[in-house]
Structures are given as C-alpha cells and as structure tokens.
A and B are shown apart, each in its own frame.
Chain A
Amino acid sequence: MPQHEHMERHRKLHGRRFDAEERERKREARLSHKRSEFAQKVHGLRAKLYNQKRFKEKATMRKTIAMHNERSNKHANDEAVADGAVPAYLLDREGVSRAKVLSNTVKQKRKEKAGKWEVPIPKVKPVADDEMFKVMRTGSKKNKAWKRVVTKCTFVGDNFTRKAPKYERFIRPTGLRMKRANVTHPELKTSFQLDILGVKKNPSSSLYTNLGVLTKGTIIEVNVSDLGLVTTSGKVAWGKMAQVTNNPELDGCVNAVLLV
C-alpha cells in the first residue's frame, strides 16, 4: 500500500540500479551536447524563443558567478583614511571611490543636456484627415456624405451629450472611447493606471485636439491625485501632463509618460 513518498519508499525497499549514478553523470555530461544539437537544428520562431531563454539563463549564470567572485571595483569607503599626515582642510573628506564619482558626473551631464521643454516623443507622423475620419453616408438613399466617424481612440468627457443627428458632424464611437491611461513616471520607473482628465494637444491638428483624439504623441492631462505629488509651492498636484507613447487604436490601451 503506497502512502506518501512512494518513490523514496521504493528506493528504500528495493534500492537503485547499480549504474544509477553513472547514468545520471552521463546524462548530465550529455546535456550540453544535446542542447547544442538542438540549438543548431532549430529555426524560426522557436529558435528565437530558445535563444532568448538561453540568453537569460546565461546572463543569470554570469551574474551569480560575478556575485561569488571577489569584488574588484571600488566603492565609497568611509573608513579609508589617507596615509600619512593630512592637512586640516582635507581631514573631513571621505575616501570616495572613483567609479561612483564618474557615474554621478555622467548622470548630471545628461540631465543638464536634456532641454527643459522637451517631450519624450518630439516628432510624430502627422495623421491625415482621410485616415482619421471615415465618411458616413446618410440620408434615406445614402447619398449624403457630410458625416464623419472618427476611427482612432478618443477621450470624451463625462458630461458630454451627443448633439441631434442633424448637427452631429463628427461621431466618436463609444467602443473607441478611452477613460484611463497607463502612465509611467520616468523617474520612479513605475506605471500607474490613471484617469484621463482631458486632451491638451494633439500635434496633428487642432481639430483633433478639440475632438479629443488620442494618437501617438498627444499630450493629455491625467489625474495624479492618488500619487501624492506635490508642487513646488507645496500644494498637492492633481492634474499633470503626460504624452501618449503608443498607438491606442492598435494596442487597445493608452500608454503615456508623465511629463515632469
């Protein structure tokens, strides 16, 4: 009656075969050959996936090895005291590692280089009207063609009410209306799903801005009250600008970067 650990039990009762260890060792030794054979044979998508997997494995392996290796790089070292006599004005200096300094200066430079009013996506492909709008034929004979349907995702405010059909030139389909955006905070390197407050600027056209069309590069205002960001004057900021970084109509969601 096998209960619980039946493998162990079997081994305890009957032992293992005499060459079990040898077989295991051989299997282990053969593994690299097998892998190599497979890697050479495989092609297409499977090859891509396989190589990705192997790359990851190798990277982790390298990292672990590096971790266990003796460290050779220099670090901030508070205890390090310069040898010999030191003048008074140098006494409170800490021994700072060179690597750290270097990285800090590089970062500082990079920050300075970045312009103040620069947005993450400075140039976007303009969207033509015929791509943006689909003509909707109306009239009982379908011979009138003055209505347009927006084919891209849009933001429509909560209090929007459609006009009467006679005056409604642009239709924004409900299926393509977006309410929330996945906003990445570039410094915190984290993403939040935030409510969209409005479309500030669509770079392609002011008409699109008015319609609230969300395309790549559009500046939107998002509700950041949950993040608890504080303005320079000390008030809690609740609306902040963000730039759309993807094509929402292709991805089914709005991704944006917070402009800070």
Chain B
Amino acid sequence: MPVYNFKTMAPVPSASDLVDIVLTRTQRKTPTVVHPGYKITRIRNFYMRKIKFTQQTISERLTAMLSDFPRLSDIHPFYSDLCNTLYDRDHYKLALGQINTARQLVDAVARDMIRMVKYGDSLYRCKCLKRAALGRMCTILKRQRASLSYLEEVRKHMSRLPALDPNTRTLLLCGLPNVGKSSFMNKITRANVDVQPYAFTTKSLFVGHTDYRYLRWQVIDTPGILDHPLEQRNTIEMQAITALAHLTCSVLYFMDVSEQCGFSIEQQCNLFRSISPLFANKQLVVVINKIDAQPYDTLESDKRDMIERLVKEGGPNTTMLQMSNVSEVGVSSVKNHACDKLLASRVDSRVSMKKTDSVMNRLQVFYPTARDGVVREAYVPESVLRERERAAAEGGEGKKTRKSRIGYAPTKDDDDDDDEGDETPAESGDEMMVGNGGGGAGDGGRRKKTARELMWENGGPGVWAPDYREQYDLLDPEWRFDAIPQILDGKNIADYFDPDIEEKLRMLEEEEDRLQAEYEAADMERTDGHDTRLDEMETAQVAEIRERVKIARAYKDRSGGRNRPALPREIRGRIKDCHDDDAKLKADAIERRLARVGVDASSMLERGRKREREGPREKRRQSRNARGDAEMEDASSGDYDEDGGVSMKVEGDERSKSKGAIKRQRKERVESARREQSMARSHSRPREPSQIGLKDESMAKVARMVEKKGQRKWFGGSGEGDHTKSVHLVKWCNTGKKRNGTHYSR
C-alpha cells in the first residue's frame, strides 16, 4: 500500500527559470569551441549534439515533473477527490497534459532541426539552425508559464497536506462550525489545532494521533459543515465532505446542546439528516457536547426527543454519548467507545472476508476428555502454602516497609526504625520466593511487591531505594546489617578480606625470585660470547665524544650562525692542508680535531695532499672516478688491459719507479680506458681502432689519413647529406593563412 506523502516532489521551476536551467546546462555540458576550418562533419556533429542535448535536458525535466505528480486516477479515491476539491481536477489534468504536449513538441522540433543540420554545408548555416532550434524549444517552454506556475502552487500545497493514511484506524470529527471538534481533537491528541470562538477556524483537514489499546489511531479534524445543498458548499466544507465520503472510519458527529455555537439543535439535526447518506457503513457516535453549559438531563424535553429520534434514525451503528471539553467529562469515554466500535467492525469485516477462511480452515480446537475421575491439581510446595497462610494472617496489619539505609537519599526519619530491621528483611526474602512460585495462583492481593512499587510507595526515586544488604549471603543471616568498620585493631580490614592472602603473597614472591634467576642466567649466556661492555675509560670517552657531537650539532643548528656552506670533509682537508698561512686549520689541527671525535684522519689528509699535487681539475675528477672502484680494479683489470703481455712488461719496468708514481700511472691508464668506453656509450662517435677491427694504432692512423683524404673533395662546401638549417625563416613554414589548422599540419 503506498504511503501518501507528497513531500518528495521536486520543486517546479518557473518557465523562465526552466529556460535558463536548460540553456546553461547545454552551455556547460557540451563542447564550446568550433572553428570554420574543421571538417564539415565535425561542425555538424558539434551543433547536432547541442540540439540533441538541449532536447534531452528538457524532456528529462518535463518527464520528471510528470512522474512526480500523482495521477488522480491512480491514487486513493479520497486523495483524488481531495485534489479535485482543492486544485480542480480538470485544471490539474490540463496542466499536466500541456506539459506532456510540450515535451512531445520539443522532441519533434529537435528531430526536424537535426535533420536540417545534417544538410548544413557551412558553420554559419549549422549555427543558425542550432540557434533556431534552441529558440523554438525555449519558446515552447515559455508558453508553459501558466501551467508551470500552477503546478508549483499545487506542489507546495500538496507537500503541506497532512500525512493522512486513508486505510488505517481513523476517528473522524464532524459537525457544524464551533461545536467543539477542534477542542476535542486537542484533548485526545497532540495536534495542537487552533481553536477560536468563531466559525471556520479550521479551514482544512488536520490530523492527530492518539493511542488506544496499544494501537495508533488517526484522528481527523474537519472544518465545520453548513446545512445547504452540495453544489453550494465551498472548498472548505467540501474537504470535510470528501473525508466523510471516502474514509472507512468511526464518525463522531458533534452536537452542541448549549446552542452556543449559534445553531439551534434543530438545525444541527437537520444537518445530520442531510449528510446521513455519508454515514452509511460507518460507525457513528453522536456526541452531545458542552454539557458543562447545558446538562443533557435538564435539556428541554422536545429537544431531547429530537436528538433521540435522530439517534434512532441513524440505525444500529449509531450511539449517543455526552461529553464536555471544558470539564473534560466523558472525553475519554467518547474516544474509547468510538475506538472500540471501529475495532469491532474492522475485526468483523476481516472475519467476514474470504481471506480469513484459509487461516480458519487450518485452525482446530480440541477439548480433551477426562481420562478418569482423579483430580490432578497443581503442586504447591508445603513451605509456600505455609508462607501464604502466614502472609494472609499478617495481611490485615499493614506491612511497614523498611527505609533504605543505603543509597543516595537519606531521609530525616532514617534511623528511627533501626531496631525492627532484623525481621523484615527475612520476611521479604521469603516472600520473594512465594511471588516466584505462585505467581499465577490468582491471589492478586498477595502478590509480592517489586522494588519499583515499593519505591513509589515510599516517596519515589531519590527518597527510597532498595536495601541490597538483604540479599547478602553470610554464615549467620543476622550479620547482614552489621556495620562494617574500615579500621579494626589499627589495621585496614580491606587488607584482610582474603583468608589465604599470606599464602598468595608467598607464592608471588617465589615466582618473582624464580623469574629473576632465569633472566640473569639468560643474560650471562648472552654476554659470554663477546663482551661488548666497555670499561670505564672507554665509557668516559664515548660520553665525551657524544657531548662534543651534540655541541657541534647545536652550533650548526643555531640560528644566526654562519651563512656559508659547510665544506665537505674531504675538500676541507685538502684546502686546509695547503701551505697557506691564512688557513684556519692546518693538517695537524684537523688530525687532532678528528681524533678527538674518534675518527682516524690520516687517510683523509693523504687524499687531500694527493689532490693538491695533481693540480688541474680534470685530473682530479678522473682520479675521483677511479677511486670509486678501486677495489674493482684488481678484479677486472684484465678487461681494460688490451694487450696483457705489454702491460705485464710495463709493470715490470715500473718497479724501478717510485711506488706512488707506478700506482698513479696504472690508475690513469685504467681510467682512460673506462672513460673511453663510457664516452662511446654516451655519444655516437667513431669507436677506437681496437673496436672497429683495426689491428693497432698505426693502422688506425693510416685509416684516419685515408678518411681525411676522401673528405677533402667536398670539405668546405655543404654536401647533400648535411643536415643544416641555415635559413631562419623558411617560407613554406611561415606564409599563408595561420588560422586554418596549425603549423604542424601544413
């Protein structure tokens, strides 16, 4: 069953807004750049896409609108009639129909114009057609201005209709204006309907909810109805009539016997008669209201007769009740009676329906026949019976409940019943058992009171709380209410709450000792292999070094420090090692300093000195590269020695030279070979003779000469294969129209 909630309908934009929405969307969501130089198919597609997109957007929006608004034939007849009353069915249908037509027209326009664009032979023509197409679609939308604004009004009103469920249990209040319908509504629900002492305060249907028998009941307050023909009724009254006509509910017809509403009882009876066809098949309660002002008993007899005759005319489903909203006499009885009647009728109708048969057929009720004459009663234990008897005997005395001694709220007569505390807990404890055992025995008077009930009897929460000491399980129950001291004989009793606490403590200590021993044993084993521990002096040194490092680091991080790069250590060593009097640090100073932080500086200084000797920068770089794989050199020296025999011989000769010189020479050679190779890899350049298959340097020399000779012919003039670009402005690259296409494409 659909829930009638019209709040989800999306707002309907006005016609001009809709045009804006559609056009901006087209502008945002479709490509915007097109040039006359593009291929014509591309231009056509560009504009066709725009037209198509606009049409789709419009049709999407209009379709959403059409599907949002309910079709009056599809919804519950109550709602469809209500809509007819409020919005005029014809107008509503016409508006939706026009929207639908507009959608179709837009589709047709788009179809036609796209067909025309397909024959477009220039950008201008395509653009004109697009413009015409969008214009025509927007004109169609603009023509819908009236329908759209009407639908928006309808939507706003519908979304504010009360969420009224036509199929649920409903009480419907009706009657002439000012007879107290809304007051009654306010009495039984929380709807907070406006009540004023003038007619037609309630101008539309109001919904409230009330509870009865754990069910939710919908109460509908209707505007007052005047007694005149249906054609003359206005919109306000028609809403009440609609509700009366279409809802299956319990109708409460309100009558004002005091005639304060301005209508005589006769007029009220006449209205009842004129709308009585609407009461058919409904549970009807005639409510005699305002009996505080005019009691029904003291009403003039002819008026009373009139009302009673009316009730009789109403048929078997009609009852009469008296009520007053001011004195609240009979309010709840009216509500209960109406609810009961409706509930009964609903159950009846359910049962009488075919649906229930399938369930009923499956139900069978058996009444077992007695096997023999033996009476088998429920077993009640002896103690329980005794307890019941005792309680019955004591029952007359009026039991006095104990005040709580614990909890958060001591009362002023807290300690006056201390002495009688000993017996009552025991009694109540036993009673609890009785309550549990014989709960269903039907002795309602002897049911055990719950702690909650006791609490309310004794002053409510905060005043009384149950005493949990009653439930203590001790050796002697008499001990239960004894005060427990915190300190006893100078000792905190909390420390002695456990009888074997000594034993537990001992075990814990033992375990700790055991663990300690284990850990130490493991530690010994670990350190046995190699002793990493430092002796005292070393420790002191380490500490000092760390201290210095820390200081140095702090200096470095200090803001406002020197604003120049800290030299890397190797360069620093080299420069400072020179025979420069201005140098702050000499070699020995460096050595000393590094020694202080625990670094051996000798190799570093040696390196620096070597650099200084080597001089030019290039050489230095070479040597650095070589140093990078000094270790590799030994292993793979064979690769670089082209002619192993020669090199061996050279090496033999070199023995006579100084050791450093030999080293240097060898390094240089290796370095040059490596450099050669790396260069060969990085550029495309003629390879060395060894690599192109020439035998040796002499042959290479010859080859070079031949090459030069061959080139001599055309040296100086540019050849065919020369890839030169001497002219800066190439004509074919730079003339002609620039707009069409790009440089690259031509």
**Would A252 and B204 be within 8 Å (CB), given that A1-B190, A4-B160, A173-B119 are in contact?**
no
> Is A151's beta carbon under 8 Å from chain B?
yes
Known contacts being A1-B192, A151-B119, is A252 close to B113, with CB within 8 Å? yes
What residues on A are CB-neighbors of B116 within 8 Å? 175-176, 249, 252
Query: Which A residues touch B191, using CB under 8 A?
Result: 1, 3
Q: What's the interface size class on B, roughly?
A: 20 to 34
Which residue of B125, B192, B194 is within 8 Å of A249 (Cβ)? B125
Most buried by B among A1, A6, A173: A1
Q: B13 on the interface (CB 8 Å rule)?
A: no
Assembly CA distance A9 to B194 (angstroms): 9
**In the docked arrangement, what's the CA distance between A176 and B118, Å?**
10
Q: Which of B101-147 contact A (CB under 8 A)?
A: 112-113, 115-116, 118-119, 121, 125, 128-129, 132-133, 136
Known A151-B119, A173-B119; contact A252-B112, beta-carbon cutoff 8 A:
yes
Which B residues touch A175, using CB under 8 A? 115-116, 118-119
Q: Is the CB of B207 within 8 A of A3?
A: yes
Interface size on A, residues (CB 8 A): 18
What is the total of A-B residue contacts with beta carbons within 8 Å? Answer: 46
User: Could you mark each residue 37-77 of chain B with 1 if its beta carbon is under 8 Å from any beta carbon of chain A, else 0?
Assistant: 00000000000000000000000000000000000000000
Flag whether A251 is at the interface (Cβ < 8 A). yes
> B181-213: which residues lie under 8 A (CB-CB) from chain A?
190-192, 194, 204, 206-208
Contacts of A252 in B (CB 8 A): 112-113, 116, 129, 132-133, 136
In the assembled complex, the CB of A177 is this many whole angstroms from the nearest CB of chain B, namely 10
Tell me if B438 is interfacial: C-beta within 8 Å of chain A: no
Checking B121, B125, B136, B206 against A3 with a beta-carbon cut-off of 8 angstroms, the contacting residue is B206
Complex CA distance for A144 and B142, rounded to whole angstroms = 51
What residues on B are CB-neighbors of A1 within 8 Å? 190-192, 208
Where chain B touches its partner, the secondary structure class is mixed
If A3-B162, A6-B160 touch, does A253 touch B132 (CB 8 Å cutoff)?
yes
Give chain B residues whose Cβ lies under 8 Å from the Cβ of A3: 160, 162, 191, 204, 206-207
Min C-beta distance of A158 to chain B, whole Å: 19
**Contact yes or no, A251 B207, CB < 8 A:** no
A161 to chain B, nearest CB (A): 21
The chain A residue sitting closest to B203, CB to CB, is A4
A250 close to chain B: CB less than 8 A: yes
* Least distance between B22 CB and chain A CB atoms (Å): 16
**Chain B contacts for A12, CB-based, 8 A:** 194
Which residues 238-257 in A have Cβ within 8 Å of B in the complex? 247, 249-253
What is the CB-to-nearest-CB distance from A130 to chain B, in angstroms, rounded to a whole number? 11
Chain B residue at smallest Cβ distance from A131: B121
B132 touches A250 (CB 8 A): yes
* Bound CA–CA A12/B162 (angstroms): 19
Could you tell me the distance in whole angstroms from the C-beta of B7 to the nearest C-beta in chain A? 11
Which residues of chain B have C-beta atoms less than 8 A from A6's C-beta?
A: 160
Asked if B119 and A251 make an inter-chain contact with CB atoms under 8 angstroms apart, the answer reads no
A134 at the binding interface (Cβ < 8 Å): yes
Contacts of A163-177 to chain B: CB distance below 8 A: 173, 175-176
Identify A250's interface contact among B118, B128, B162, B208, CB under 8 A: B128
CB neighbours of B207 from chain A (8 A) = 3
Given A3-B160, A6-B160, A151-B121: A251 and B190 interface contact (C-beta under 8 Å): no
A42 → B minimal CB distance (Å): 15
Chain A residues in 8 Å Cβ range of B206: 3-4
Residues of A within 8 A of B113 (CB): 252
Q: A1-B192, A173-B119, A176-B116 are in contact. List 5 more A-B contacts (CB 8 A).
A: A3-B204, A4-B206, A134-B121, A252-B136, A253-B132
Q: Lowest 3 CB-CB distances: which A-B pairs, in order?
A: A250-B128, A175-B115, A251-B132
- The chain A residues found within 8 Å of chain B, CB to CB, are 1, 3-6, 9, 12, 134, 151, 173, 175-176, 247, 249-253
List 14 A-B residue pairs with CB atoms under 8 Å apart, sorted by A's residue number.
Answer: A1-B191, A1-B192, A3-B162, A3-B191, A4-B162, A134-B121, A175-B115, A175-B116, A250-B125, A250-B128, A250-B129, A250-B132, A251-B129, A253-B132
B-to-A contact residues, CB < 8 Å? 112-113, 115-116, 118-119, 121, 125, 128-129, 132-133, 136, 160, 162, 190-192, 194, 204, 206-208
